[in-house]
Chains A and B, each alone.
Chain A
Amino acid sequence: MTTYIIRRCLMAIPLLFLISVISFGIMKMAPGDPTALMMDPMIKQENLEAYKESYGLNDSIVVQYGRWLGNMVQGNFGESFIRQGVPVSELITARLPNTLLLMLVSTFIAFIISIPLGVWSATKRNSLQDYAITVVSFLGVATPNFWIGLVLIMVLSVHLGWFPIGGVATYGEPFSIWDRLHHLVLPAFVLATADMAGLTRYSRSSMLDVLRQDYIRTAKANGFRQKTVIFKHGLRNALIPIITIFGLMLPSFIGGSVIIESVFAWPGIGLLFMEAAFQRDYPVIMAVVVIAATLVVIGNLLADILYAVFDPRIEY
């Protein structure tokens, strides 16, 4: 198991390298550069050139990438172009916990709602509840979740005033768990909706598949009640393929969090990325990309480990 984990981590290195190359290329190909936004439009051409020179923006893309990579492997993400003098690592450490919290809670919400719904739907196959859940799921798949976010903000926050409009905490108030939760619920739920529909459908079909298996028939032939058959003999088997989905969901989750953080003004790395992308703040963009890619790799590794925990047939 340990050797497996080490091997997987080593395998991730070339992957991360490739991702960084591609992102760097795409970022540089996008029109505009940070100077366009930072500088006084009336600045003299030679001053601008001097500025560009000092940041190394005039070097070839290969040299620029090489410089970035060299620093990065030493754990140095450089300084932000826009917020001059602020190290990128400082920006990240301030924001990353917010994003991790949002994603964790959101994943939890997605699973805690979707799996029971899917299982329930499967055991009541072709009933009214099953059809209702199916219809809602399809609507959910078809609806972009930033739209759901905006609607919920309008209804629940603006009109009803039940939730804050955005942010992680009430400004100027001392820290309180309740205040944090109050701010967290809505964005976490909205982010969860992105995968909830698919996850519900998936749990349903996974459970249906399990209920057709011979060992379920054995359990019934042994006189176990429906509840025991489903929860003791079925559920664990049905969860195995859902773990894979968890791994596959992560990238879309991270992508979704960029949007949702913007909608809810949630100061995480998604929002940071959005700002940095508009301002062509290259060091920040690259740092977020690397971190996001690392999160995906870790998530998939976690999924594989969970796989072995749930399925005794799998040994690494």
Chain B
Amino acid sequence: MNAVLEVSNLKTYFKKNKKTIRAVDGIDFEIGKGETVALVGESGCGKSMTSLSIMGLVPAPAGKVVDGSIKLNGVDLVQMPEKKMYDIRGKEVAMIFQEPMTSLNPVLTIGDQLTGVIMHHLKVNKKTATEKAAEMLGIVGFSDPLKTLKDYPHRLSGGMRQRVMIAMAMSCNPKLLIADEPTTALDVTIQAQVLELMKDLSKKFSTSILLITHDLGVVSELAERVIVMYAGQIVEISDVDDLFEEPLHPYTEGLIHSIPAIEGEITRLQSIKGNVPAPGTVLPGCKFAPRCSKAFARCTEEVPGMYVREDGRCVRCFLYDGEVVE
């Protein structure tokens, strides 16, 4: 398979006051060329740490990738020296963040920030970089790119800034774009526009996208495949249509039932009972068992492995023990 990104057995831990917090606790997944994969889960389940691990930006010295590999086109980023990572970040793997209001440098013009990245990675002169920057701003929908290049970020709205962030991320034609809740801070109409833009660009440049979100509406809009994370582990990987039609893991089911339905009769919104286990707690069984309505004896005694079903869907739950192929 021509996977752009292969993550296997990735473990990213934090050490705080001699306690170990397993922010990412052994996850495996792949992203194909041009594919958009969503990573969903409740707050604190390790989504951002997964993405920062890929970027090699886990906040040191407390946090560290302790095990596993992250292969980008077959090259392991975990083993890569920091010096070489400078050429990967922003070029091979680019990232956009949740907070467009604060993610741009307030004292540098949009032009300085865009051309800085372009000159750094593409090794071109200022003039070529400026042309490229203007072109990118045009692509992300600015009507007067040359004027915008001279503007400071505080003059732009949140949606505009996120467009600038997207232009910046896409300017060196990355193989993988990581978007960590790119639309959470935007209002609904702007959200839709930004998502549309990301969809178009990924098609146009055949960029793979790892989309991190806890908004399942965004997932159904953009993603082809969905990875569901819970407490640092992956509990389900499914194609997006299958996931919404027939969620396998009880946790996924809970997530889907907690989206308010727009059409149809008003039913009571269900939320998943209880809370995510406090980071650092170690349970003898399934981490979701204490909150699971379908839990049985085995769930609290044994840790479930990943079951791969005949149709290729993966789920970490004893309910599917009978259907395993592997």
> Chain A interface (Cβ within 8 Å of chain B)?
213-215, 217-225, 232-233, 236-237, 240, 310-313
Contacts and interface: CB of A to CB of B under 8 A. Distances in A.
A221 B105 contact: no
Contacts of B97: 214, 217-218, 221
19 contacts: A213-B102, A214-B103, A217-B57, A218-B97, A220-B89, A221-B55, A221-B94, A222-B94, A222-B120, A222-B168, A223-B86, A223-B88, A223-B89, A223-B117, A237-B107, A240-B107, A310-B107, A311-B107, A312-B107
B106 interface: yes
Interface residues of B, number: 28
A222 B106 contact: no
Given A221-B94, A222-B168, A223-B91, A312 B106 contact: yes
Contacts of A214: 97, 99, 102-103
A312 B156 CA distance: 13
A46 B159 CA distance: 85
Contacts of B57: 217, 220-221
A311 to B, nearest CB: 6
A237 B105 contact: yes
A147 B46 CA distance: 56
A217 B107 contact: no
Given A232-B116, A312-B152, 12 more contacts: A214-B99, A219-B105, A221-B95, A221-B97, A222-B89, A222-B116, A222-B117, A222-B120, A223-B120, A237-B107, A310-B107, A313-B154
B90 interface: yes
Given A214-B99, A312-B152, A224 B86 contact: yes
Nearest to A222: B90
B106 A225 contact: no
Given A213-B102, A237-B107, A221 B154 contact: no
B108 interface: yes
Interface string B287-325: 000000000000000000000000000000000000000
The 7 closest A-B pairs by CB, nearest first: A222-B90, A223-B89, A223-B90, A214-B102, A215-B105, A312-B152, A221-B95
A43 B94 CA distance: 90
A218 B107 contact: no
B117 to A, nearest CB: 5
Contacts of B121: 223
A220 B91 CA distance: 12
Contacts of B154: 312-313
B61 to A, nearest CB: 9
A267 B117 CA distance: 54
A299 to B, nearest CB: 23
Nearest to B95: A221
A232 B105 CA distance: 10
B67 interface: no
A233 B106 CA distance: 9
A224 B55 CA distance: 13
Contacts of B105: 215, 218-219, 233, 237
A65 B91 CA distance: 72
Nearest to B88: A223
Contacts of A222: 89-90, 94, 116-117, 120, 168
B68 to A, nearest CB: 21
Nearest to A234: B105
Contacts of B222: none
B104 interface: yes
Given A213-B102, A218-B103, A232-B116, A223 B85 contact: yes
B200 interface: no
Nearest to A218: B103
Most buried by A among B105, B108, B120: B105
A233 B90 CA distance: 16
Nearest to A236: B107
A313 B105 CA distance: 11
Given A221-B57, A222-B117, A222-B120, A313 B106 contact: yes
Contacts of A311: 106-107
